[in-house]
């Protein structure tokens, strides 16, 4: 079969992993293949409940504007449905009390919004929409243990019922196209080696950041404010982070972060004590007036990992990677769900492009490009953190000049809309990084003084 995806001969596509990236990839592939099978290790819950296969599912998740736009393109009306389920919509900077690099942000009118409802709620809504398509089949409780085919072409996957034991012979599911959406712990390197192919080079950058999260219910005893949340942003000089965002129904997610060797504890009393390490007591004071609504959950797998399938190597046609199996970010930046949706949009456009043959390598490059800006943001910030390790942590010659300029942009974004609006558009993946070099932003960053910002936490708009 010719190496041409999605236009001819793609009778059956298999997607490994039923999380957001896998479900959205299946949604796109159903437009081209006769049938699509999603293979998922977990038994999926019937409702919007957490599942073991999303280890970060009990922690903070936000859907930034770039992800909202992509989801609405893939599943029209999705964001309206999400809001109808009660997911809070939070405006930036108007609805947040935010501190970063010694400055409190002025609560200017919102130029960007994110949704902060529970991750299981959003994933459940995606699952309901995608699996309503009769061309898409879900196989639950089943592990992918390998690929079939050769180094030239993948012809299917080897599956085993989860819990059946290593001695049980796997079954084979034939496929014209296999998409790995199994997450950051993907076993694709082993699968490829077993059929004589080469694994991609992995770029890594690990700060050792870890975080802990707990759900709380706000009471009348929390500090009075018209803001919806709080955010203490960590940085190279101040490595502790804290964030409070609404989940809906009076509940809030509280997440605190620290670096290797000084991680937030999962002991309940110690978790609240840890908040006193933040550079201002505003989050500690909020916790003192709130009621815990669940246990503390810890998370440690926060390295940035990018698998370079776009580089030359002996790799088979008919095999793609997407989501965290392709590019996984430090979750503290809130990009993962948005990039999963943006990658699915990129997959759709690459398969539908009438000007170019959608070969495996060309489509894989499109998927990587969809994650490039998020990687530049996450890795660019993390390489400045103390103790950052990995081959992607090495500074490039241009980093010093770029870092100097972006530091000036960030200083002014806290109180100047001319800089703040494009700054937030870039961070929420709705505008390219080049937006920060537009003439108006350049003038403000290079020649304007740092604007005056609140001296203390702006608990009321206008403070």
Q: Based on DSSP, count helices (H) and strands (E) in the chain, helices before strands.
A: 12, 21
Q: State the sign of the Cα–Cα–Cα–Cα dihedral 324, 330, 336, 342.
A: negative
The pLDDT tens digits of the residues spanning 437-448 come to 999 999 999 999
Q: How far apart are CA 431 and CA 434, in angstroms?
A: 8
Average pLDDT of span 93-117: 97
What pLDDT score was predicted for residue 6? 60
Average pLDDT of span 337-353: 97
Left if phi > 0, otherwise alpha if psi is -120 to 50, otherwise beta: which for 89?
A: beta
Q: Give every CB contact of residue 19 below 8 A, 6+ residues apart in sequence.
A: 53, 54, 123, 181, 183, 323, 340
- Supply 308's token pair: 């370079």
Banded pLDDT at 80 (limits 50, 70, 90): very high
Rounded percentage of the chain residues whose pLDDT exceeds 70 = 96
Banded pLDDT at 1 (limits 50, 70, 90): very low
CB 447: neighbour CB atoms within 10 A?
Answer: 7
- Supply 117's token pair: 């409802």
What pLDDT score was predicted for residue 354? 85
Question: Any idea which of 158-162, 164-168, 232-236 has the lowest mean pLDDT?
Answer: 164-168
What pLDDT score was predicted for residue 144? 97
What pLDDT score was predicted for residue 319? 97
Banded pLDDT at 308 (limits 50, 70, 90): very high
C-alpha separations of 24 from 174, 225, 325, 342 in Å: 21, 38, 14, 10
Q: Is the pLDDT of residue 365 over 80?
A: yes
Average pLDDT of span 282-304: 94
Directed axis angle between helix 439-447 and helix 399-413, to 10°? 90
Rounded percentage of the chain residues whose pLDDT exceeds 90 = 85
Average pLDDT of span 356-366: 93
Which DSSP state fits 448? S
Question: Any idea which of 15-29, 306-320, 382-396 has the lowest mean pLDDT?
Answer: 382-396
Find, among 55, 56, 51, the residue nearest to 141 by Cα.
51
The pLDDT tens digits of the residues spanning 46-57 come to 888 777 766 666
Residue with the two structure tokens 């001319």:
418
Could you tell me the end-to-end alpha-carbon distance of the chain, in angstroms, rounded to an integer? 65
Q: How far apart are CA 337 and CA 324, in angstroms?
A: 10
All structural domains of the chain, each given as residue ranges with its CATH number in brackets, are 12-61+122-204+303-380 (3.50.50.60), 209-299 (3.30.70.2450), 397-447 (no CATH)
What pLDDT score was predicted for residue 415? 96
Question: Any idea which of 11-25, 45-59, 98-112, 446-460 has the lowest mean pLDDT?
Answer: 45-59
Yes or no: say if 25 and 126 are a contact pair by the CB < 8 Å rule.
no
- Mean per-residue pLDDT of the chain: 93
Q: Is the pLDDT of residue 332 over 90?
A: no
Yes or no: say if 251 and 293 are a contact pair by the CB < 8 Å rule.
yes
The pLDDT tens digits of the residues spanning 108-158 come to 999 999 999 999 999 999 999 999 999 999 999 999 999 999 999 999 999
Residue with the two structure tokens 């943006």:
342
Paired with 160 in beta bridges are 143
- Supply 188's token pair: 């694709």
What pLDDT score was predicted for residue 299? 87
Q: How far apart are CA 215 and CA 244, in angstroms?
A: 9
């Amino acid at each position: 079969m010719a190496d041409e995806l999605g236009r001819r001969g793609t009778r059956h596509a298999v997607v490994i992993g039923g999380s957001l990236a896998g479900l959205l990839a299946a949604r796109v592939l159903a437009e081209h293949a006769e049938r699509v099978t999603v293979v998922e290790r977990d038994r999926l819950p019937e409702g919007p409940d957490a599942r073991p296969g999303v280890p970060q599912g009990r922690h903070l998740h936000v859907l930034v504007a770039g992800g909202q736009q992509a989801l609405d393109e893939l599943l029209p009306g999705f964001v309206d449905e999400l809001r109808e389920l009660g997911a809070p919509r939070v405006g930036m900077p108007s609805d947040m009390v935010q501190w970063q690099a010694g400055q409190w942000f002025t609560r200017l009118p919102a130029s960007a919004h994110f949704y902060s409802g529970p991750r299981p709620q959003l994933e459940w809504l995606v699952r309901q929409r995608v699996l309503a398509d009769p061309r898409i089949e879900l196989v639950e409780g089943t592990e992918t243990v390998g690929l079939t085919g050769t180094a030239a072409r993948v012809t299917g996957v080897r599956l085993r019922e989860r819990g059946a034991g290593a001695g049980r012979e796997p079954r084979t599911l034939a496929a014209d196209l296999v998409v790995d959406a199994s997450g950051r712990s993907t076993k694709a390197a082993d699968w490829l080696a077993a059929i004589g192919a080469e694994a991609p080079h992995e770029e890594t950058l690990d700060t050792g950041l870890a975080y802990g999260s707990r759900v709380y219910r706000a009471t009348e005893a929390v500090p009075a404010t018209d803001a919806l949340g709080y955010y203490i942003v960590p940085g190279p000089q101040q490595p502790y982070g804290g964030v409070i965002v609404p989940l809906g129904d009076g509940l809030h997610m509280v997440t605190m972060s620290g670096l290797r060797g000084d991680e937030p504890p999962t002991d309940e009393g110690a978790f609240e004590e840890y908040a006193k390490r933040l550079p201002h007591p505003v989050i500690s004071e909020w916790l003192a007036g709130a009621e815990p609504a669940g246990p503390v959950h810890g998370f440690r797998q926060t390295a940035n990992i990018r698998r370079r399938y776009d580089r030359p190597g002996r790799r088979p046609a008919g095999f793609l990677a997407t989501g965290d199996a392709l590019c996984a970010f430090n979750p503290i930046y809130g990009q993962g769900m948005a990039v999963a949706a943006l990658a699915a949009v990129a997959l759709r456009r690459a398969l539908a492009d009438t000007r170019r043959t959608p070969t495996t390598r060309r489509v894989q490059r499109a998927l990587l490009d969809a994650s490039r800006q998020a990687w530049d943001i996450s890795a660019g910030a993390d390489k400045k953190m103390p103790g950052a390790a990995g081959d992607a942590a090495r500074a490039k010659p241009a980093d010093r000049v770029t870092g100097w300029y972006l530091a000036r942009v960030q200083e002014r974004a806290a109180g100047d809309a001319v800089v703040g609006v494009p700054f937030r558009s870039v961070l929420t993946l709705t505008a390219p990084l080049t937006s920060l070099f537009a003439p108006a932003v350049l003038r403000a960053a290079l020649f304007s003084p740092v604007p005056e910002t609140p001296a203390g936490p702006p608990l009321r708009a206008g403070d």
